[in-house]
Each structure stands twice: as C-alpha cells, then as structure tokens.
Amino acid sequence: MLLELKADTNYLDKQALIERLENMGFRVVESDANILAIIGGIDSLVVTEAFAELPNVAKVHPLTANFKLASRQTKASDTIITIKNKQIGGKELFIIAGPCSIESREQLEACAKVAKENGAHALRGGAYKPRTSPYEFQGMGVPGLELIAEIGAKYDLVTVSEVMEISQLEVASKYLDVIQIGARNMQNYGLLTELGKIKNPVLLKRGFAATYQELLMAAEYIMLSGNPNVILCERGIRTFETFTRNTLDLNAVPALQQLTHLPIVADPSHGTGVRSLVLPMARASVAAGAHGILVEMHPNPDKSISDAKQTLSFETFAELTKQVRKIKAALE
C-alpha cells in the first residue's frame, strides 16, 4: 500500500506517522516525494479506509505488484549502490571481470591488473564453485576468498564471488565486497533470508528458468529480510537452441527496469556460453540499458579449469571494454 501524504506535511509529522505505522506492525519505506510504502504485516486483512483517515494522508494507493520493496511503484528513482567509491545503478557503466574460478595468485592477479588497466570496477572469481558433477573442481574455498580480498584491495577493485550456502556466508561477507548468488540458488529461500542480515550488496543471478517476477520475488526475500542492496543479473535462460549454452535474454533488461528500481547487470559469458558471442552480446547488453556487465577472462582461456569455452583472452577483454564504452557514450 502507498500512502500519498498531503503536500504540506512537515518533517516531524511525517516521522510521527512513520512511527505510528511501525508500531502497528508494518514496515514503512520512504518512497520518492511525499509517499510512504507500507509493507507486510497483516497487509491483506487491513481495511484500506483506515489508512485514509490517518493524519496527513491525502490518498491511499494499492501496491499492485507481488513484490513490494523491489517495485518501481514503491521507489520511483533508480537505486544506486556505492562500493569502494564506485557506483552501480548510476550513470557510469559498471564492469565486472575476472576468471570463472580462482586458480592461483598469479592467475587472479594477472586478471586484476588487466581489469584495472581497462577501467573495470570489480574483480570476480569463484572460490566456491557450484558444479553439476561432484567429480569436478569445487573451488579453492577460503584461501580463494583471502586471495581475492588481498588482490581486490591492491588494485582498488570491488570484489565479487559466489556463496552457495549459509555456512559460507559469515567468512565470505568479511572477505568480499559483493556476495554473488548463482542461478541454481536463486530460490534457495533460507540463503536469501540470511543475505538480508548482512551489509554486503548482493549480486542475484536469475535462475535459468525463472521468470522476471520470480527474480524480483527472490530479491524481495533479501530486501524484506533487511538488505536493500540487491543487484539483479541476467545470465541466460534455457531454451531449445543448442548452438548456445544458454540464451541471454536481453529483454529482461528493459523489462526489469520498468518493474524495479534495482540495478541490473548482464552476463554475456554465461548467457551465451560461446566465447565468440561475448563481445557482441556485451555491446547489446549495454545498448539494452544494463547498468553493468559481468564477463569472464583468463590469462590462458583454453586452460581455464572451468567454463573455458566462454572465457575471453585479455586482448578480447580490452577490446570489449573499448566497445562497450562507446555504446554507453552513444546512449547519452
């Protein structure tokens, strides 16, 4: 429910109203302008008219989306998240790059150096790897987190890495700037709820058969649990096409931007699974309006322990950053 306040409501009266609503058991979000969003509680049981009679309330609007905190209705302006003096969700394109898996200090540092030289903002690298097969490399674990924290600090890069379960969250939230939740865990509701209790921004990847609405409901779990800093990530869906590993669904970018105020990045590496498609689809992601992109690169792509088929060389990554920035400039 959205409460539109009277135009002349002063600061103190507004705070008093918020306190009163919170005492009634609601979560109150100060939306843009003079609008308060009322979330949860015994929402559906409440008589709308009761709200209309509260002091300073001019009009009551229903919240039509199933997601409330994530909805553009609740907050009209874009959410901008600032990490290490870098912004995502604002005017500048946010570039996240790095290897699929953290394999060694040398490998990760080489990637960080190239990322920094080419103007990337964040370094990604997997320490815990969700693998379809239990016989495949499962990631370096905590030593990997230590490495990315150290190298991220050295090169002034925001660090991003995936967490797969609640037990990893405490240590990961210390070492990492941004916690990534992978496609397979997008509806792991226990994990989502725990993410609400930490301060780190969360990069939430769309499940490979999740609708836009389901992605936003997953974000809602995190937000409702207390963490408003959710970055959505389109990373490809499952279709009948076999040339690509996934079908990067760029329609999600403008569609989500209509539905939510949260930042949206696109991952053309996983989204296509084909190295030669990453550059053009990175360009397309930016043209579609993505706030950022996430790409995989490796000093020796063909020797990457995981996802070798989609990993860029440093040369291609450098070219990619040039091209996406030209596209970004053309949008202004």
Site for a copy of itself in 303-332 (CB under 8 A): 323, 326-327, 329-331
User: What six digits make up the tokens of 114?
Assistant: 């190239």
In sequence order, the 6+-apart residues with CB closer than 8 A to the CB of 227 are 195, 196, 197, 198, 199, 200, 201, 202
User: x/- site string to a copy of itself, residues 69 to 108, per CB under 8 A?
Assistant: ----------------------------------------
| Nearer of residues 105 and 326 to a copy of itself, judged by Cβ | 326
As a whole number of Å, the end-to-end CA separation of the chain is: 35
The least distance separating a copy of itself from the CB of residue 150, rounded to whole angstroms, comes to 25
CA distance 85 to 106: 26
Looking at the DSSP assignment, which residues form a beta bridge with residue 204? 181, 232
Q: Nearest CA to 285 among 329, 251, 332, 239?
A: 251
| Nearer of residues 6 and 131 to a copy of itself, judged by Cβ | 131
296 touches a copy of itself (CB under 8 A) = no
130 touches a copy of itself (CB under 8 A) = yes
The least distance separating a copy of itself from the CB of residue 305, rounded to whole angstroms, comes to 13
Q: Burial, 90: exposed, middle or buried (Cβ in 10 Å; 0-12, 13-18, 19+)?
A: middle
280 touches a copy of itself (CB under 8 A) = yes
Site for a copy of itself in 177-196 (CB under 8 A): 184-185, 187-191, 193
118 touches a copy of itself (CB under 8 A) = no
Q: Tell me if 175 sits within 8 A of 203, measured CB to CB.
A: no
Site for a copy of itself in 7-36 (CB under 8 A): none
The least distance separating a copy of itself from the CB of residue 51, rounded to whole angstroms, comes to 18
Q: Nearest CA to 267 among 208, 194, 221?
A: 208
Give the side-chain half-sphere CA count within 13 A for 80. Answer: 9
Helix boundaries (H) for 235-307:
252-259, 268-272, 275-288
Q: Return the range that interacts with a copy of itself (CB under 8 A); candidates 89-97, 154-162, 231-239, 308-316.
A: 231-239
285 touches a copy of itself (CB under 8 A) = yes
| Nearer of residues 107 and 257 to a copy of itself, judged by Cβ | 257
141 touches a copy of itself (CB under 8 A) = no
CA distance 174 to 322: 33
Looking at the DSSP assignment, which residues form a beta bridge with residue 304? none
The least distance separating a copy of itself from the CB of residue 142, rounded to whole angstroms, comes to 15
Site for a copy of itself in 32-71 (CB under 8 A): 40, 43, 66-68
CA distance 218 to 192: 7
The least distance separating a copy of itself from the CB of residue 294, rounded to whole angstroms, comes to 16
166 touches a copy of itself (CB under 8 A) = yes
Among 12, 47, 134, 199, binds a copy of itself (CB under 8 A): 134
CA distance 329 to 323: 10
